[in-house]
Amino acid sequence: MTRVKICGITSACDARLAVEAGADAIGLIFFEKSPRNVDLEQAARIVAELPPFIQTVGLFVNAPLDFVNETADRVGLDLVQLHGEETPEFCAAVRRRVMKAFRVKGAESLVPMPSYRVAGYVLDAYSPNAHGGTGERFDWDLAVQAKNYGPIVLAGGLTPENVADAVAQVVPYGVDVSSGVELSPGKKDPEKVRQFILRAKGL
């Protein structure tokens, strides 16, 4: 069954909503330019209220290594998702399992993937204006190709309306959604979250 991560969580209420709806992981964004950015205290409160077996993922964009590791320790993150131009060496120095994100323009975007020895790869749509959360999608055939390199988490432009098709076409390890299940940036829509998870998991 496809795993589901609900990203851009900014409150314990939305985290509980995602978990009760069947999410496998929640994503916390530590990037000041994002409208879904959380500070360490906020994030720690959210994580402290989660039940067991739910994975917590911290998203960072070109952050200093010390900040990534210290945030992961202080908040209690299970995984780190790197969404910038981080190198394979940077990923190896993170004290958590790492998911490396690639913003996909075309087949050339997949070329660096084998250089990264990480737990999994997040494939998101390329945008010149943002490092994710744009609601844009990319050619899912490229995601099928990328599965040759390891576990793929499909992101970018996913919604309750198209996630079943995405899963059927790509058969990814997981799917990752933020803006596609929101009322406004950082505030989740309960019904969209529920429908997204049900359809992603084929329930």
What is the reported pLDDT for 137?
A: 85
CA torsion angle 146 96 69 98 (round to 10)? 0
Mean pLDDT of 66-86: 98
| Angular region, 40: left φ>0, alpha ψ -120 to 50, beta rest | alpha
d(CA 89, CA 130) in angstroms, rounded, equals: 24
0.85 surpassed by pTM: yes
Residue 132 has pLDDT above 60, yes or no: no
Residue 178 has pLDDT above 90, yes or no: yes
Residue 16 has pLDDT above 80, yes or no: yes
User: Is 124 annotated as catalytic?
Assistant: yes
User: Is 13 annotated as catalytic?
Assistant: no
Which among 203, 183, 196 is positioned nearest to 18, based on CA atoms?
196
What is the reported pLDDT for 126?
A: 78
Give the torsion sign (CA, 127, 3, 188, 96). Answer: negative
CB atoms within 10 A of CB 72: 20
- Which one is catalytic: 14, 24, 124, 176? 124
Residue 133 has pLDDT above 90, yes or no: no
Mean pLDDT of 30-36: 96
Using the structure block, give the residue that is written with the tokens 């997949």.
110
Which among 130, 145, 125, 137 is positioned nearest to 166, based on CA atoms?
137
Residues of the chain with pLDDT > 70: what percent? 96
How many domains does the chain contain in total?
A: 1
pLDDT in tens, 89-130: 999 999 999 999 999 999 999 999 999 999 999 999 877 666
What is the span of the domain harbouring residue 110? 3-200
* Tokens at 179, concatenated: 């803006």
- Which one is catalytic: 7, 24, 91, 176? 7
Residue 131 has pLDDT above 70, yes or no: no
CATH code of the domain covering residue 159: 3.20.20.70
